[in-house]
Structure 1
């Protein structure tokens, strides 16, 4: 099952979703309305190999909690993502057992190719 984890209130996520092919067979998951579970995060981790890769250092909480000045471990990244949806880098696509994390132009082009 192909999925997209996104934030409905995020303009960038909305723009990306609008640009997806109409026949894209994706399960859409707004992580604010329906937070990710430990099992889902572990699936993402198994595909990406790193909680840090899934972690958004652009999140406002990252700055306000002064996390950039702390030595965070993989376990810390995992716990912060589970604690608050804003720490998940968005959007996250899981398509054909491959993961695509974030909104970089290159990443979105790869997603478009596989869809």
Structure 2
């Protein structure tokens, strides 16, 4: 499977897609704002990366707004929050076969670019 979960209005996601050329290399794009991530998709990603927390974005504005930074969250909380609010999914999430790249850190983008030859 070659799929990218992203937010089309996010300039960071746009930059990563452009840098890697992933859209031209046969990856299916799913905008999590217009076509939200399904429970089955989220569970599949969790199996590949090991935890819902690894898919959870603490940069989302709602993270602070809802006071989540002051709470101890469980895996069930992370799952529920991601399904309820697309902004809690760390983006982009790129699935390239058995490999999954989560987020926009430089080392993650470099590894993705090396894999797909951007």
Q: Tell me the TM-score normalized by structure 1.
A: 0.96
Gaps of 5+ in 2: none
Question: For 1:53 and 1:30, how far apart are their aligned partners in 2?
Answer: 19
The aligned counterpart of 1:110 is 111
C-alpha displacement of 1:21: 2.7
C-alpha displacement of 1:18: 1.2
The aligned counterpart of 1:55 is 56
Question: For 1:27 and 1:21, how far apart are their aligned partners in 2?
Answer: 12
Summarize the alignment of residues 1-115 of structure 1 with structure 2, pairs less than 5 Å apart: 1-21=1-21, 23-115=24-116
Could you say what secondary structure the match of 1:42 adopts? helix
Question: For 1:96 and 1:25, how far apart are their aligned partners in 2?
Answer: 12
Number of residue equivalences? 115
Gaps of 5+ in 1: none
4+ long deviations beyond 3 Å: none
Question: For 1:96 and 1:105, how far apart are their aligned partners in 2?
Answer: 21
Could you say what secondary structure the match of 1:100 adopts? strand
Question: For 1:56 and 1:112, how far apart are their aligned partners in 2?
Answer: 22
Could you say what secondary structure the match of 2:77 adopts? helix
C-alpha displacement of 1:19: 1.2
Question: For 1:30 and 1:73, how far apart are their aligned partners in 2?
Answer: 26
User: Please, what is the CA RMSD of the aligned residues?
Assistant: 1.0
